[in-house]
Amino acid sequence: MSNNFSALANSVVEKMGGASNVIALTHCMTRLRFVTKDEAGIDADALKKIKGVMGVVQNGDKCQVIVGNNVAAAYKEVMKLLNLDGSAADDAPAPKVKLTPKVIGAKMLDALVGTMSPLIPAIIGGSMVKLAAMLLLMFNVYEADHSTIILLNTIGDGAFFFLPIMVAASAAIKFKTNMSLAIGIAGVLVHPNFIDLMAQAAEGKHVDLFGIPVESVRYTYTVIPVLIMTWIQSYIERWVDSITPTVTKNFLKPMLIVLIAAPIGILLVGPMGIWIGTAISTLVYTIHGTLGWLAVAIMGALWPLLVLTGMHRVFTPTIIQTIAETGTEGMVMPSEIGANIGMGGACLAVAWKTRNIALKQTSMAAGASALMAGISEPALYGVLVRLKRPLIATLITGFIVGGLAGYAGIASHSMAAPSLFTSVQFIDVNDPMSLVWVLGLMALSVVLSFVLTLMLGFDDIPNEEEDDMNKSHKKEADKKEEPKLTEAPVAAKATA
Output the DSSP codes for 342-379. Answer: HHHHHHHHHHHH---HHHHHHHHHHHHIIIII---HHH
> Across the chain, which distance is largest between two alpha carbons, in Å?
122
Query: H or E segment at 186?
Result: helix 179-189
Q: Render pLDDT for 17-68 as a digit per residue (tens, 0 to 9).
A: 888 888 888 787 778 888 888 888 899 889 988 888 888 888 778 888 988 7
If you ran DSSP here, which 8-state letter would residue 113 be given? H
If you ran DSSP here, which 8-state letter would residue 409 be given? T
Mean pLDDT confidence for 476-480: 54
Q: What is the dihedral of CA 128, 130, 131, 136, to 10 degrees?
A: 130
76-85, 141-150, 398-407: least confidently modelled range: 76-85
Q: What is the dihedral of CA 380, 386, 388, 393, to 10 degrees?
A: -40
End-to-end Cα spacing for the chain: 67
Amino acid symbol at 474: K
Report whether 343 contacts 300 (CB < 8 A).
no
Distance between CA atoms of residues 83 and 90, nearest Å: 10
Q: Render pLDDT for 215-260 as a digit per residue (tens, 0 to 9).
A: 888 888 888 889 999 999 999 999 999 998 888 888 899 999 999 9
User: Which residues are paired to 22 by β-bridges?
Assistant: 36
Distances (CA, A) of 32 to 76, 83, 167, 175, 254: 11, 15, 20, 18, 33
Distance between CA atoms of residues 450 and 51, nearest Å: 27
Distance between CA atoms of residues 235 and 258, nearest Å: 13
Domain boundaries of the chain, sorted by first residue: 5-90, 162-269, 292-456, 466-496
Q: What is the dihedral of CA 102, 104, 110, 116, to 10 degrees?
A: -130
Query: H or E segment at 400?
Result: helix 389-408
Q: Which residues contact 380 (CB under 8 A, 6 or more apart)?
A: 55, 304, 307, 308, 343, 391
The better pLDDT of the pair 96, 427 is held by 427
Report whether 109 contacts 401 (CB < 8 A).
no
- 349-354: long-range contacts (C-beta < 8 A, 24 or more apart)? 349/390, 349/393, 349/449, 349/450, 349/451, 349/453, 349/454, 350/383, 350/387, 350/390, 350/453, 350/458, 352/450, 352/454, 353/453, 353/454, 353/458, 353/460, 354/460, 354/461
Mean pLDDT confidence for 423-434: 84
The better pLDDT of the pair 62, 394 is held by 394
Confidence of residue 349 (pLDDT cuts 50, 70, 90): very high
Q: Which amino acids are annotated catalytic?
A: 28
Confidence of residue 278 (pLDDT cuts 50, 70, 90): confident
Q: Render pLDDT for 105-123 as a digit per residue (tens, 0 to 9).
A: 777 777 877 788 788 788 8
Query: H or E segment at 31?
Result: strand 31-36
Confidence of residue 394 (pLDDT cuts 50, 70, 90): very high
Residue 72 above 90 pLDDT? no
- Which of the following CATH numbers is that of domain 5-90: 1.20.1740.10, 2.60.40.10, 3.30.310.50, 3.30.1360.60? 3.30.1360.60
